[in-house]
Every structure is written in C-alpha cells, then in structure tokens.
Amino acid sequence: MSTYRIPFNRSSLMGRELQYIAEAMLVGQIAGDQAFTKKCHALLERELGVAKALLTTSCTHALEMCALLLNVGPGDEVIVPSFTFVSTVNAFVLRGATPVFADVRPDTLNLDEARLESLITPRTRAIVVVHYAGVACEMDAILAIAARHGIPIVEDNAHGLGARYRGRTLGTLGALATLSFHETKNFTCGEGGALLINDARHTERAEIIREKGTNRSRFFRKQVDKYTWVDVGSSYLMSDVLAAFLYGQLEAWQTIQSRRRRVWETYDAALADWAAAHNVRRPIVPPGCEQSYHMYYLLLPSLDARSALIDHLRARGILSVFHYLPLHLSDMGRRYGGQPGDCPVTEDVTDRLLRLPFYNELNESDQSDVIAAIHAFEF
Ligand SMILES: Cc1ncc(COP(=O)(O)O)c(C=O)c1O
C-alpha cells in the first residue's frame, strides 16, 4: 500500500478487464497471439490507422525489436534525446550502437529539430523521437530532415497513444513506433507494449523476431507446414491473459480519455494564476498538437523550489515526482562521451520539472487538495 494519501499513480479497472481474463481462462489458451491479442491488434490498427500493430511484453522490448529490425550494430550511430527513459537508448546500445544525444526544445521538451541535422553523420542509422507527455515532436521538420538523409525514424510513443500531430495520429509517422502499457500509462495491463509498423518492409521480419526468430506466425496462418528457426529473435509476445486485461482498458477509451482530460484541464485552470505569480511554467501544447493527457507537470524556477514543493506535498500525504535525469550525464552516457553542457535545455529542465498525481480515478476532492496544497506553498 502507498503510504501517501494521494499517490502519484494508481491503476484501476475501467471496464470489462476481469470478465475478459475469465473468458481467456475458460477458453484455456493464454499464450501469445490468442483471441484477445488479436482483438487488441485490430482495435489499435483501426483506432490509430496504423498498418500493423503487434503487442509486446513492454515498450522496452518493442524498442529492442526496432533496433533488430533496423539492423543497427557496432559502428552505427543512433540519435536519441537525452531527456528520455533509459529504454529509448538502451535498446540500440544493446545491439552495439553508439548513442548520439540530442537536446530538447524548451517549450515541449521534445527533440529540438533545429539542432537535429548537425548531429547526423554518415554513420547515423536511426533517429528516435519521444513525444514527451504525449505532445507531438515537430514532425514535419524532423521527417523532412530524415528523408533528406535517408534515415528511418522510430517514434517512442510510450506517452502519446491517441495523440495527434496536424491531424495525424502519433505512431503512424515514423517507419516504426512503440507504445507502452506500463501501469503508469493511460491504458495499462501492468507491463506491456506494442510495436507499430508503418513501413511494410518490416512486417514479416517483425513477426519472426517477436516469435524467437521462427516463422511460427506463418505456420499458424497455414502458410508453411512446419515452423523453423529463420532469423535472430526473442520472446516478445504478451500473454493473452494480459491482452484480455488490456482489451478491457482499450475498449474504455472514451471514458479513460475524458477523465484524464478533466484532470489535466482542472490542474491547468486552477494553477494558472499561481504559476504566473511564481514564475512557474505550465505545459505547452503547440497549435496543431492534440495531446494524450498522459501527465501534468510544472517547471519550477529552481531545483531548491522543486525540492521544497516535493517536501511540502509529501508532508500533506501527496506524492509528486520528478522525471528523467539527463542520459548523457548518467554513468553509461558518460562512457559514450557525454559532458555537462552538451544538452543545456535538458540539463536545465531536469532539475525543475515536477509531475503531479495523475490517474483515471483521481477524484475532484483529492485533486482539490493537491491544488490547495500547491496554492499554500510559499517560496
Ligand atoms: C519515453 C519512454 N519510453 C519507453 C519507456 C519504457 O516503457 P516500458 O515500461 O513499457 O518498457 C518509458 C517508460 O515509462 C518511457 O517513458
């Protein structure tokens, strides 16, 4: 049990999750790619307008599949934001690639497209973008640069399921994209993810990599009469028990998103005056971006102010958390040559960003307590 009266995150049943788990168990087939996995694939493909969706055990594993699909290896460089979760980078480092850390824009905290081209070398094999907080990167500029150099884009869309950029759904813009269904995400099954494939040249090999390097998917479709080892791979399939849970969540799409939208808009309206008076920045959603209502964050004026606000909220039983330490300054990042000053915006915001409690069942009374506690914070 959380020791906090108002936790940072709490998962909840939003629809028929338990009924679907029972159905999966009654059928008795709960390995990967069974009935509920297929339902999730169809729902994601339909809702997002993506050619192919494959459930995976996590977003981390979907990113690892991207690295395998793009044949990234030693000597290759992959451009990644420093302001991201470790898996965005690790997936490529696992294949022996060298990460090249990009800074982010001060407004959206997304990869800074203005500095992207200067990071490209003849060895660049992929550009990975993260749509932070489910607000889109400046994709027109990024796609144009990538196209000019013939470099594939991977969208790490862990935060942005359902969000849009100029009318286009996030996850449909890069050659490949990934989703997360970790418990902190809008739609969850505890641990889970998905690979989205927009470049059809990757589809058949993705099925093979996900099935331990075998052509078992073709065998199940009766396209071959036995299956065998045909490529490298691993076991990236989600159990159908989790897919059943996830399907219950995905079916509750409208309910979940309208609740999260209410939470986000309540914070934003209630904190506007306080933020303006205290030099605190609220999230920026540029025109043309429809966000996913994944999180609500504040940028405090200093590290000291952030630490004091965390303590102030903790004393009132409220858990708030910071996000992403700059990867280029981590122990691993420094092994790849990361130095202070390489990504100044990342280095600045990492000390100042604070995420407020945000979950589907955050009720009005608890959210009012969070807001009142922030209003009462003196600094
Ligand atoms: C941007 C980003 N990418 C990848 C991940 C990893 O997701 P998962 O826990 O599903 O592996 C996270 C986790 O929160 C994330 O924030």
- Tell the burial category of 5 from Cβ atoms under 10 Å away from its Cβ (0-12, 13-18, 19+): exposed
Alpha-carbon distance 13 to 1, whole Å? 17
Alpha-carbon distance 141 to 124, whole Å? 17
Say yes or no: CB of residue 324 within 6 Å of ligand 1. no
Alpha-carbon distance 207 to 203, whole Å? 7
Alpha-carbon distance 142 to 165, whole Å? 12
Low-confidence ranges of the chain (pLDDT < 70): 1-2
Residue nearest to atom 15 of ligand 1 (CA): 85
Reduced to 3 states (helix: H, G, I; strand: E, B; else coil), residue 31 is coil
Of ligand 1's atoms, which has the minimum distance to the CA of residue 324? 16
Residue 148 near residue 122 (C-beta atoms within 8 A):
no
Say yes or no: CB of residue 125 within 6 Å of ligand 1. no
Q: Which of 314, 353, 245 is nearest to 2 (CA)?
A: 314
Kindly give the distance from the C-alpha atom of residue 323 to the centroid of ligand 1, in angstroms, as a whole number: 12
pLDDT of residue 2: 64
Say yes or no: CB of residue 182 within 6 Å of ligand 1. yes
- In terms of phi and psi (left: phi > 0; alpha: psi -120 to 50; beta: otherwise), the region of 324 is left
Kindly give the distance from the C-alpha atom of residue 187 to the centroid of ligand 1, in angstroms, as a whole number: 13
pLDDT of residue 378: 87
Structure tokens at 265: 């808009």
Kindly give the distance from the C-alpha atom of residue 176 to the centroid of ligand 1, in angstroms, as a whole number: 16
- Which stretches of 211-363 are DSSP H helices? 216-220, 240-251, 253-277, 303-315, 331-335, 344-349
Say yes or no: CB of residue 81 within 6 Å of ligand 1. no
- Check: pTM over 0.75? Answer yes or no: yes
The 10 Å Cβ neighbour count of residue 368 is: 12
Say yes or no: CB of residue 59 within 6 Å of ligand 1. yes
